[in-house]
Amino acid sequence: MSYNLIKLNTARNALRYVINAFNIKEIYLPYYICPAIRTAVNKENCKIIFYHIDKDFNPMRDFPIDAFVLYTNYFGVCFDIVEKLSLKYKNLIVDNAHSFFSAPKGIASFNSLRKFFPILRDGSFLYTERTINESFEIDDFEYTPHLPDYKELCLNEKRLDEAEIKYISPVTEKFFNSIDLEKEKRMRIEKFYYWQKRLNGNVNIKKDEVPFSYPCFAKTSKMADNLVKQLEKENISIYRYWNNLPDSFPEKILYTNLAAVPL
């Protein structure tokens, strides 16, 4: 399968690009997803049909065979699910924001440079079967690469929330090209297995998978809370994704019982 590579400013805008390229009027979206993705779809006046996932990140329903389906490669450990869905649904779109190194699947896949490489402030590589005949502005945001503090992160998120579809900023592309990607791969895989052993986990990854974080799923919410407190004492910030769903949803357990340990 042949893909075109489009370098854009954000993952959410990569999805907007796909919606326009394929003239998508209706898309299946997981409830368990970054709210910014929902906002991006709404900006294109595309109808959303939400679906649930289980605690192992599997969709809890089948889709119409020709439906446009967005699936998120959660924490970069869902290779098997992506593979299965890509064989079953011809219009699969893969959100690889948590899996920069994953090979593209479906009709389009996109990642997020700034999520995987914290010194970067924007950037998404979109791999798509179809392009649109339109040029965009180049993001002219300038910065000096370093690990940002919380205030800088918030300001950058606000900037990106308001950003239209643009090409990647030259400064981001420049500093991305200076990253030793093979070293990054090795470091992440080594840390993954370190946390696997330390937390007595059982998350399986394929040979070529390079996860975003180690998703530690605790038996109880109290155990997850205790783990977060323990690791924060070691100055390790733990993310809890995404606390914007009703308590009755099956995905709620992924917020209460799952701690994503950064790699």
Q: What is the pLDDT of residues 141-195, one digit of tens each?
A: 777 777 777 787 778 778 877 789 999 999 999 999 999 999 999 999 999 999 9
Reply yes or no on whether the pLDDT at 224 is more than 90. yes
Determine the Cα–Cα distance for residues 12 and 34; give it in Å rounded to an integer. Answer: 9
Q: What are the extents of the domains in the chain? A: 4-176, 181-262
> Average model confidence (pLDDT) for the chain?
94
Residues in contact with 95: Cβ distance below 8 Å, sequence separation at least 6, in sequence order: 11, 15, 33, 37, 70, 71, 72, 73, 109, 110
- Reduce the DSSP state of residue 238 to 3 states and report it: coil
Interval 72-86: pLDDT, tens: 999 999 999 999 999
Q: Is beta strand 92-96 parallel, antiparallel or unpaired with respect to 258-262?
A: unpaired
What is the Cβ-side half-sphere exposure of residue 166, based on CA atoms within 13 angstroms? 18
CATH of domain 4-176: 3.40.640.10
Pair of tokens at residue 103: 């090979």
> What pLDDT, on the 0 to 100 scale, is given for residue 63?
98
CATH architecture of the domain covering 181-262:
Alpha-Beta Complex (3.90)
Nearest-angstrom CA–CA distance, 194 and 164: 40
Angle at 19 between CA 14 and CA 25, to 5 degrees: 155
